[in-house]
Amino acid sequence: MNTDPTSSTSTGPGAPTPSGTTREDRSARVAVTVFPLLILAAAAFAFLVPSAGLAIAPATNVFLGVIMFAMGLTLTIPDFTLVVKRPLPVLIGVLAQYLVMPLVGFGVTVLLQLPPELAAGVILVGCAPGGTSSNVINYLSKADTALSVTMTSISTLLAPLLTPLLTLWLAGAYLPIPAGEMAMSIVKMVLIPVVAGLVIRLLFSRIVDRILPALPWVSVVGISLVVIAVVSGSVDQIVAAGALVLLAVVLHNGFGYLLGFWFARVLRQPIRTSRTVSVEVGMQNSGMAATLAASYFSPAAALPGAVFSIWHNLSGALLAMYYRRSAAKQDADPREVRPSA
């Protein structure tokens, strides 16, 4: 979601305050700080009271649709113009998204010798598009927020095609992959809600602008409900393999950040762009992955997505602090190219 204050109008809810921030900016900062705590609380609640989560489990598709609709509401047509203005960074970012994370996920399953259901779940997380919270983390990292929004948008639009195909390719040896059905589910749960949100933003921009500060919380609540539903159905698996799943998620996420950064640097991208790619690649739409895994595989296969939802928000907040502190030195790189406003 776009949290760049430069995108706000000079008046109204998104207007800069005397301190130079906007309501949307402040809301995003609070959300990204509180988000991990709420996700942890949701997971603990589901673990202790699994019956409550099982009651809402049939609605996980709806929760994901609401999250993606909220993402669509944050988008504008200019978010897609970078595809024309700066095609190379966008191409590099999306290529890294669908190359680095799927292969890292597969590598982690081989390294840890994960059982088939967990292996399929980890790979599915890797084949998912970028997560919406990556845009907030990139803004707080002083990275290229506009590029992040474009990358998330493009990778999401490509998800109905690439996520099932990559999952079939890399996880087909572990479990049967209903790629066609999965593609249709992504269209219904992800693509249609995002496009609907974008259209409504175009038609009713003034109304939507007023609710932008609340949209990060829609994602917070939606992901929390998905986590509750998934964890509630995976209590036995958490007890049996929780530490192993956490290790797989930490490795997957960490190598995503690291390789995403160096993927961009090797291709001669500025440090600011490389930070953006790093965050975008490392943070996945794990809610989508968990929902698909629960629908087409098993509760155990959905566990990596649920744990990833918790972990990547914790690690993303820490990475934002690191990138923000080192931004002054990194931005001094003479190869740094700043996009025009």
pTM (predicted TM-score): 0.83
- The percent of the chain in helix, strand and coil, each rounded to the nearest 5, is 80, 0, 20
Tell me, what amino acid is at 305? G
Contact 1, 216 (CB under 8 A): yes
What contacts 24+ positions apart, CB below 8 Å, involve 260-267?
A: 260/96, 260/100, 263/92, 263/96, 263/99, 263/100, 264/89, 264/92, 264/93, 264/96, 267/92
316-336 tens-digit pLDDT: 888 988 888 877 565 555 554
- pLDDT for residue 13: 37
CA–CA dist 17, 67 (Å, integer) = 28
Three-state DSSP at 6 gives: helix
Domains in the chain (CATH in brackets) are 58-220+234-327 (1.20.1530.20)
Strand, helix or coil for residue 334: coil
**Tokens in use for 268?**
């001669």
The list of the chain residues with pLDDT below 50 reads 1-20, 336-341
Cα–Cα distance, 147 to 20 (Å, whole number): 22
Quote the CA–CA distance of 219 and 221 in Å, as a whole number.
6
Instruction: Give the pLDDT confidence score for residue 56 in this predicted structure.
Output: 87
Say what the pLDDT of residue 287 is: 87
Q: What distance separates the 2 farthest-apart alpha carbons in the chain?
A: 58
- Tens-place pLDDT, residues 84-118: 898 999 999 999 999 999 999 999 999 999 999 99
Q: How far apart are CA 100 and CA 98, in angstroms?
A: 6
Sign of the CA dihedral 205, 206, 212, 215? negative
pLDDT score at 11: 35
CA distance 301 to 291: 10
Nearest 5 degrees, angle CA 275-CA 278-CA 282?
150
Q: CB-hemisphere CA count at 13 Å for 16? A: 9
Among 176, 287, 175, 179, smallest CA distance to 225 is for 287
